[in-house]
Chains A and B, each alone.
Chain A
Amino acid sequence: MENQLLLQVENLDSGYGFLQVLWNVSLSVAKGEYVCLVGPNGAGKSTFLKSVAGLVSPMAGRIDFSGNSISRLPGDKICRMGISYISEELNLFAGMTVQENLAMGAFTINDKRKIVENQDFVFELFPALKERRRQLAGTMSGGERKMLAIGRGLMSTPSLLLVDEPSLGLAPQTTAAVFRALDTLKQKEVTILLVEQNVTKTLQVTERGYVLEKGKIVLAGASTDLIQNEHVRKAYLGI
């Protein structure tokens, strides 16, 4: 069990400047797992992902990835280690085409064949991107940009995918397409840590979940158990 853990976060405190957002958060993701972190707006879900991705420096605690401590590494090094972070803001390169954005996603890869292979995989996952490969990222719709962001994140052949709010601001159909894509990735044995506000949908598709409230983990367990949990049903499912 111990060496199967891909990501292990222990007692993490994190935040911005004097503002502490996360308090003593512990979470782990095993290889091949599909795990979610749910919670209300402002609970610190994005801050958690940013701390793992190296965009926010943790105040205390450990973050281990494949057995190496990464809590003091900058974002670009963490990406090179195999963690891909797909942010809520997407952070696409608006003045570049779809294809150039994907090429940037493979910045850490030097093998040209591998890049083509990854790009084919992304186009297979999101055929809409293939049609629009010459379009500037900044001129695309919200759903297409989200697909591009996920596609760009996949270009570096990550072993762990951190996805922040993929359903935010999307039409139901597009949301379904994004979740389908994540399912496909799961079947390809990509490890995914998903952060979502859409609790019902998320708990239906993931295997395990954590509930974060006011910067602290209040519940954890199998998704099927969480969906039955009294607190979750009251607070998130409105039942």
Chain B
Amino acid sequence: MFMAIANSNTLNLERVLTTLKSPAGITISASIIAAVLGAIDNGFYVIVNAIVTGGMWALVAMGLALVFGVMNVVSFVHGEFFMIGGLTAYFTFTPFSDYLMGNPNPLFEAVLPILAMVASVAAGVVVGILCELIVFRPLRNRTREQWVMNSFVITLGLSTFIVNSSQFILGTDFRGIVSYWNYPTLSFFDVYVSFDRFFVFILAMLILSAFWLFMRSSKFGRAIRAVSQDETGARMVGININGIQTLTLALSSALAALAGACLLFMYPAYPTVGLGPLYNSWFIVILAGMGNVAGAAVGAFIVALLQVLTTVYFGEGWEYTVPAACIILVLIIRPSGIFGSEVRGILNQ
């Protein structure tokens, strides 16, 4: 849709109007208007907050959309990947951070948080591959009947297993950090943003673009899209379905783990920390349209804005209630989500 506008050299007014009148156009324009009004009323920080958190939710939600689109798995274990990412970052970061207290080293201080994030991405990849090899592949080889329901229940079980293992091994302590970098706060348009948040936002944007490029133009990104559009067709052109499923789960859990690491200063890691991100990403995926990865990236910013505005006008306790109410509305008016579902057939099961 946006491509259509970008491609035409002469901006066709009629085309712009139809775009604006589509559900996606209406939602996006309404969000922009809401953001502007909120910013006028409360200050620019509304927009800055929505964009910064939206970037991170986009990473989590895209992974969820991908897993649904490619593997047809309604995943409820996605939040646990977030938790594992947070824990890995914590255990990589804090020991060295304590060491740095006694032996200051500016270069190492600057690099250490990035190392922690890389470690959590690696942990995400490993956990994703393990889940595929130990849980999903045996089930897939056994039977594809009732796959959506079976795999959904299995993700619930996996989630319970990981949460309780974490509680059993590490206890229920909150493991968080105050900040990754002790750099001075930055200010944009009179809004103060900590360096951590700024960095996390830039990183999210970089990963989003890299991911988009990967899915558009790389051989394996295309193969992932091919499997989500027609699995039999993908097999017919020589794509190894099992390999693509593994790649997909590894990618999506790595994205969630990275988000968990990046947001460690906002969401300290504890066994059930994944619940919030899980709900959030489900809000986003349902709002955008099941399995629609690009839609999930845009939807993340809309849901983040919704939450920021809710917190401002209704109070912190309503953070999940208002988006959930909006999701119910969306499902009543447009069951396939505002950007439409890219998954065919699976909903007919």
Bound CA span A79–B235, Å: 8
Q: Indicate if the CB atoms of A93 and B230 lie closer than 8 Å.
A: yes
Q: Which of A222-238 contact B (CB under 8 A)?
A: none
Bound CA span A187–B192, Å: 72
The stretch from A7-15, A84-92, A123-131 touching chain B is: A84-92
Q: Indicate if the CB atoms of B232 and A91 lie closer than 8 Å.
A: yes
Interface centre among B225, B230, B239 (most CB of A within 10 A): B230
Bound CA span A93–B342, Å: 11
Bound CA span A26–B47, Å: 69
The stretch from A39-47, A101-109, A190-198 touching chain B is: A101-109
Q: Indicate if the CB atoms of A76 and B241 lie closer than 8 Å.
A: yes
At the interface, is chain B mostly helix, strand, loop or mixed? helix
Bound CA span A74–B234, Å: 12
Q: Indicate if the CB atoms of A95 and B222 lie closer than 8 Å.
A: no
Bound CA span A95–B340, Å: 12
Q: Indicate if the CB atoms of A75 and B235 lie closer than 8 Å.
A: yes
The 8 Å CB contact of A76, one of B222, B230, B238, B344, is B238
Bound CA span A26–B58, Å: 54
Q: Indicate if the CB atoms of A55 and B232 lie closer than 8 Å.
A: yes
- Residues of chain B within 8 A of A146, CB atoms compared: none
Q: Is there a chain A Cβ closer than 8 Å to B223's Cβ?
A: yes
Q: Which of B220-246 contact A (CB under 8 A)?
A: 222-223, 225-226, 229-230, 232-241
Q: Is there a chain A Cβ closer than 8 Å to B219's Cβ?
A: yes
Q: How far is the CB of A102 from chain B (nearest CB, A)?
A: 10
Bound CA span A55–B226, Å: 17
Q: With contacts A76-B241, A96-B229 known, is A91 near B236, CB below 8 A?
A: yes
Chain A, residues 34-53, CB within 8 Å of chain B (1/0): the string is 00000000000000000001
- Residues of chain B within 8 A of A108, CB atoms compared: 237-238
The 8 Å CB contact of A94, one of B223, B229, B236, is B229
Q: Is there a chain B Cβ closer than 8 Å to A118's Cβ?
A: no
Bound CA span A103–B223, Å: 10
Q: How many residues of B contact A (CB 8 A)?
A: 19
Q: Is there a chain B Cβ closer than 8 Å to A156's Cβ?
A: yes
At the interface, is chain A mostly helix, strand, loop or mixed? loop
Bound CA span A87–B232, Å: 10
Q: Indicate if the CB atoms of B238 and A156 lie closer than 8 Å.
A: yes
Q: Is there a chain B Cβ closer than 8 Å to A64's Cβ?
A: no
Q: Indicate if the CB atoms of B225 and A93 lie closer than 8 Å.
A: yes
Q: How far is the CB of B9 from chain A (nearest CB, A)?
A: 15
Q: How far is the CB of B225 from chain A (nearest CB, A)?
A: 7
Q: Residue on A with the closest CB to B236?
A: A85
- Residues of chain B within 8 A of A76, CB atoms compared: 235, 238-241
- Residues of chain B within 8 A of A89, CB atoms compared: 232
Q: With contacts A93-B225, A95-B225 known, is A107 near B230, CB below 8 A?
A: no
Q: How far is the CB of A231 from chain B (nearest CB, A)?
A: 34
Q: Indicate if the CB atoms of A95 and B342 lie closer than 8 Å.
A: yes
Bound CA span A75–B234, Å: 9
Q: Indicate if the CB atoms of A105 and B222 lie closer than 8 Å.
A: no
Q: Residue on B with the closest CB to A95?
A: B229
Q: Indicate if the CB atoms of A107 and B225 lie closer than 8 Å.
A: no
- Residues of chain A within 8 A of B219, CB atoms compared: 107
Q: With contacts A76-B241, A103-B222, A107-B223 known, is A92 near B230, CB below 8 A?
A: yes
Bound CA span A90–B232, Å: 10
Q: Indicate if the CB atoms of A94 and B237 lie closer than 8 Å.
A: no
Q: Indicate if the CB atoms of A152 and B237 lie closer than 8 Å.
A: yes
Bound CA span A155–B239, Å: 14
Bound CA span A96–B230, Å: 11
Bound CA span A195–B322, Å: 57
Q: How far is the CB of A196 from chain B (nearest CB, A)?
A: 19
Bound CA span A76–B233, Å: 10
Q: Is there a chain B Cβ closer than 8 Å to A80's Cβ?
A: yes
Q: Is there a chain B Cβ closer than 8 Å to A213's Cβ?
A: no
Q: How far is the CB of A58 from chain B (nearest CB, A)?
A: 16
Q: With contacts A100-B222, A103-B222, A107-B219 known, is A91 near B230, CB below 8 A?
A: yes
Closest 8 CB pairs of A and B: A91-B233, A79-B238, A75-B235, A108-B238, A93-B229, A91-B232, A91-B230, A107-B237
Other A-B pairs beyond A79-B235, A85-B236, 15, CB < 8 Å? A55-B232, A74-B235, A74-B240, A76-B241, A79-B236, A91-B233, A92-B230, A93-B229, A94-B344, A95-B342, A96-B225, A107-B219, A107-B237, A108-B238, A155-B237
Interface residues of B, Cβ cutoff 8 Å to A: 219, 222-223, 225-226, 229-230, 232-241, 342, 344
9 chain-A/chain-B pairs, Cβ below 8 angstroms:
A54-B235, A75-B236, A79-B235, A91-B230, A91-B232, A93-B229, A96-B225, A108-B238, A156-B237
